[in-house]
Amino acid sequence: MPLSIFRRGKNGTFYYRGTIGPAGNRRQLYGSCHTTNKDIAARQAAEIEAKYWKGNFDGAGAILTFAQAAGFSRAAGRSDRFLGKLEKHLGATLVKDITPGAVTAMALKLYPNCTGASLNRLVVGPVMSVINFAAESGLCSPIKI
């Protein structure tokens, strides 16, 4: 059953609701579309459903962003000391698209005057920590830099 949209209140915000997924692995979804425009709400509901199916078929790593992985790491009580600048740079990047070369290049871009040890402490270590923590949870594959 696809997601349906409905309005709460007379001139209120649209919400989506529905149960999607294959038999035996169904999931109930409910949330706000944060809009009062019905067309935009319908489009958002369709995008949410498509994202769910992509994650269901291709695995959680297909839709996991660095910001989401960092959020999981924070929720587990892990240190977020150097994550602020990294999340601004990598926030919407899919974890599966982050390569060791890209991390090294990002480190040099963010901190051009730092030594190798500082780059490891400020960028490489935190990125590896976040991604490998998500990998331990089964959300993506681990990375070695």
Q: What is the pTM of this model?
A: 0.60
Judge whether 122 and 114 are in contact, CB under 8 Å.
yes
- Gap between the Cα atoms of 44 and 5, Å rounded: 10
Question: Which bin fits 143, alpha (ψ -120 to 50), beta or left (φ > 0)?
Answer: beta
- Per-residue pLDDT, averaged over 18-37, amounts to 80
- Gap between the Cα atoms of 4 and 101, Å rounded: 43
- Gap between the Cα atoms of 53 and 7, Å rounded: 25
pLDDT in tens, 83-139: 888 888 888 888 888 889 989 999 999 999 999 999 999 999 999 989 898 888 788
pLDDT in tens, 45-80: 888 887 777 665 555 556 788 888 888 888 888 888
- For the chain, the structural domain boundaries read 4-58, 62-136
Which residues, 6+ apart, have CB-to-CB distance to 26 below 8 Å? 19, 20
Indicate the pairing of strand 4-7 with strand 27-32. Answer: unpaired
Q: Per the structure block, which two tokens stand in for 79?
A: 């240190």
Q: Per the structure block, which two tokens stand in for 57?
A: 């078929």
